[in-house]
């Protein structure tokens, strides 16, 4: 409570939330009874409004400077490990046909992401979601648009093996590493193992990604006390972000994400209606994730969190993304529905509708936190200017030279061995 008293803007945002008295009907279907699906109960159920009204101090953390990322106890950092992880991140031999590395899709020059609506896929496929940047991924408790994996260590194999991503096979990828003396030496040094094991490759890649963080932004500087770090326009935009624009309700705390899941009204990707290759992936994902035949046939859209728990009240909900590094990661939303931040702001201003008036395929689960904002043109410009303050310098990298294969033996050695028999 006391911290709220000191920050009138937050009180305002809390009041906005508290004022929303939402009926169960407005939220669609029944609320979950158990809290344990990785979803914050505070904002994902009809109980939400009541929760806010009774306990405003449990709500809305203010924007804050970002600290160093958490490091798991079972994967401590070292320079040798992050150097190894960097090599592996750029190495296409950790994939099916040795042509696609993590960095192929998370292209450093495209915001460590992929600048199209759907990510590129494994050769011969297209992905079904827009790519996410890996800058600051180290801070999330759950990864991917619908939060389906719990750690960077678990995410790396999901990517390297996924049918429309790396499409690699564990034994084959491991065998490749073992025939690369440069890796044999490094795995030995870092993990004390005589031959590289694939599980440690994922650990090294995870450690490398924990070095890809950006904490030095105009917003961080401002929040740390440098009042000149934001322009006057950005300061006005910040007030809109925390007040009339209501962005703070979800994009809050140091990460600018409360890591909860919402359906904010983003319409489906039209590409699924037009592009055969995209339809193949769509079908593959639907069945792979255990959605029903009926759902596949009737709704041509991404059901998000529903894929994980099959709760109908979670249809079309996605993890709130961080807004950090956002200037480099267009297009925006889970299937790149919007190409510019101006379009995103207009979408929110209309209460979660695109310019043709389209909204989510699951209107029953659309959150009541998204409503028409009535921002003036000037207010939209101020908000846009503020969104830019979440991004600092572009993070660039010199792509590493990868170590080469060495056969176990050469023909000359084989012949010499046979002659000696
Ligand atoms: C074929 C393209 C492709 C490849 C290869 C690929 N990724 Fe991704 N990556 C994506 C897409 C698309 C998403 C979002 C997927 C989703 O939400 O379903 C993603 C998401 C992620 C995320 C989650 C970020 C967040 O905000 O939650 C991380 C971390 C990540 N990838 C790391 C990796 C690593 C490490 C590798 C290599 C082992 C890799 N990726 C290989 C396309 C790719
Ligand atoms: C009710 C919670 C909520 C509120 C309020 C909210 N957002 Fe979001 N935001 C989300 C979610 C969830 C997504 C991802 C949705 C999707 O892809 O379907 C998102 C996505 C975004 C993205 C795209 C990020 C990316 O990486 O693609 C931007 C930019 C953004 N929001 C800015 C804003 C701004 C500006 C406001 C205030 C005008 C705002 N948001 C209000 C929940 C919210």
Task: Answer whether residue 11 is part of any domain.
Answer: no
pTM of the model: 0.89
Return the CA Rg of the chain. Answer: 24
What pairs with residue 317 in β-bridges? Answer: 304
Q: Among 1-15, 104-118, 153-167, 277-291, name the one with the lowest average pLDDT.
A: 1-15
Q: Measured from the CB, is residue 321 less than 6 Å from ligand 2? A: yes
Q: Which of 49-53, 149-153, 288-292 has the lowest mean pLDDT?
A: 49-53
What are the tens digits of pLDDT across the range 329-362?
999 999 999 999 999 999 999 999 999 999 999 9
pLDDT at 208: 98
Q: Which atom of ligand 2 is nearest to the CA of 387?
A: 35
Q: Is residue 46 part of a domain?
A: no
> Of 51, 217, 303, which Cα lies nearest the Cα of 295?
303
Q: Which residue, 213, 246, 277, sits at the end of a domain?
A: 213
Could you give the residue ranges of the DSSP H alpha helices within 254-340? 271-274, 276-288, 293-298, 306-309
Range of the domain at 237: 229-390
- CB of 255 sitting under 6 A from ligand 1: no
Domain co-membership, 172 together with 280 = no
Regarding whether 383 and 235 lie in a shared domain, the answer is yes
Contact 93, 173 (CB under 8 A): yes
Total domains in the chain come to 2
Do 286 and 328 lie in one domain? The reply is: yes
Is the residue at 28 inside a domain?
A: no
**More confident position, 7 or 140:** 140
Kindly report, residue by residue over 109-125, the tens digit of the pLDDT. 999 999 999 999 999 99
Task: Give the confidence band of 407 by pLDDT, cuts at 50, 70, 90.
Answer: confident
Domain shared by 241 and 377, yes or no = yes
Nearest CA to ligand 1 atom 37: 102
Ligand 2 touching residue 359 (CB < 6 A): no
Q: Confirm whether 170 is domain-assigned.
A: yes
From the CA of 145, give the closest atom in ligand 1. Answer: 17
138 lines ligand 1 (CB under 6 A): no
* Residues 309 and 208 both lie in one domain: no
Residue 58: predicted pLDDT: 57
Computed over every residue of the chain, the mean pLDDT equals 88
Q: Which of 151, 181, 213 corresponds to the end of one domain?
A: 213
Confidence of residue 396 (pLDDT cuts 50, 70, 90): very high
The CA-CA-CA angle for residues 147, 149, 153, to 5°, reads 140
Q: Is 160 in the pocket of ligand 1 (CB under 6 A)?
A: yes
Please tell me whether residues 146 and 246 are part of one structural domain: no
Same domain for 248 and 379, yes or no, is yes
Q: Is the CB of 147 under 6 A from ligand 2?
A: no
Please state the rounded mean pLDDT for residues 286-307: 89
Whether 321 maps to a domain, the answer reads yes
Q: Are residues 197 and 252 in the same domain?
A: no
Residues 209, 237: one domain?
no
CATH assignment of the domain containing 293: 1.10.760.10
Q: Are residues 283 and 176 part of one domain?
A: no
**Burial of 286 from C-beta contacts in 10 A (0-12 / 13-18 / 19+):** buried
Q: Whose CA is nearest to atom 3 of ligand 2?
A: 250
In tens, the pLDDT along 200-234 reads 999 999 999 999 999 999 999 999 999 999 999 99
* Structural domain contains residue 311: yes
The contacts found for 340-349 with CB under 8 angstroms, 24 or more apart, are: 341/384, 341/387, 342/380, 342/384, 345/375, 345/380, 345/383, 345/384, 345/387, 346/380, 347/265, 347/266, 348/245, 348/247, 348/264, 348/373, 349/373, 349/374, 349/375, 349/380
pLDDT at 59: 79
In ligand 1, the atom with minimum distance to the C-alpha of 160 is 38
- Domain check: are 350 and 284 in the same one? yes
**Among the three residues 213, 238, 263, which one is the final residue of a domain in this structure?**
213
Is residue 155 within 6 Å of ligand 1 at its C-beta? yes
Ligand 1: atom nearest CA of 100 is: 5
In a domain, 415, yes or no: no
- Whether residues 208 and 234 share a domain: the answer is no
Average pLDDT over residues 80-105: 97
Run of H or E residues at 393: none
Per the model's pLDDT, the better-predicted residue between 33 and 62 turns out to be: 62
Q: 123 in a domain, yes or no?
A: yes
């Amino acid at each position: 409570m006391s911290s709220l008293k000191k920050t009138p803007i937050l009180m305002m945002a809390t009041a906005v939330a508290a004022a929303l008295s939402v009926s169960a009907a407005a939220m669609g279907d029944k609320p979950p009874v158990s809290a344990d699906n990785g979803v914050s109960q505070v904002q994902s159920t009809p109980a939400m409004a009541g929760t806010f009204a009774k306990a405003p101090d449990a709500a809305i953390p203010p924007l804050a400077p970002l600290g160093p990322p958490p490091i798991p106890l079972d994967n401590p950092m070292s320079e040798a490990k992050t150097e190894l992880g960097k090599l592996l991140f750029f190495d296409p031999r950790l994939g099916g046909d040795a042509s696609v590395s993590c960095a192929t899709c998370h292209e450093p020059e495209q915001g460590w992401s992929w600048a199209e609506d759907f990510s590129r896929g494994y050769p011969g496929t297209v992905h079904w979601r827009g790519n996410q940047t890996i800058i600051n991924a180290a801070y999330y408790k759950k990864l991917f648009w619908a939060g389906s994996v719990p750690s960077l260590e678990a995410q790396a194999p999901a990517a390297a093996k996924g049918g429309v991503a790396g499409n690699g096979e564990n034994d084959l990828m491991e065998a490749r590493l073992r025939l690369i003396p440069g890796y044999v030496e490094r795995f030995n040094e870092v993990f004390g193992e005589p031959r590289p094991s694939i599980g440690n490759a994922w650990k090294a890649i995870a450690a490398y990604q924990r070095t890809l963080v950006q904490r030095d932004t105009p917003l961080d500087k401002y929040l740390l006390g440098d009042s000149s770090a934001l322009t006057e326009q950005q300061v006005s935009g910040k007030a809109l972000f925390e007040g009339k624009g209501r962005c703070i309700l979800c994009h809050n705390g140091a990460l600018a994400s409360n890591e909860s899941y919402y359906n904010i009204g983003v319409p489906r990707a039209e590409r699924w209606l037009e592009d055969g290759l995209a339809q193949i992936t769509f079908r593959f994902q639907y069945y792979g994730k255990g959605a029903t035949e009926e759902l596949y046939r009737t709704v041509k859209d991404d059901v998000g969190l529903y894929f994980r728990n099959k709760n109908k009240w979670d249809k079309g909900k996605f993890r709130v993304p961080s807004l950090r590094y956002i200037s480099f990661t267009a297009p925006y939303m889970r299937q790149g529905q919007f190409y510019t931040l101006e379009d995103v702001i207009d979408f929110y201003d209309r209460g979660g509708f695109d310019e043709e008036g389209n909204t989510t395929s699951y209107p029953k689960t659309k959150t009541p936190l998204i409503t028409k904002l009535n921002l003036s043109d000037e207010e939209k410009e101020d908000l846009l200017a503020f969104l830019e303050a979440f991004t600092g310098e572009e993070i660039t990298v010199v792509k590493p030279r990868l170590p080469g294969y060495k056969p176990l033996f050469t023909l000359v050695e084989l012949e010499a061995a046979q002659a000696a028999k």
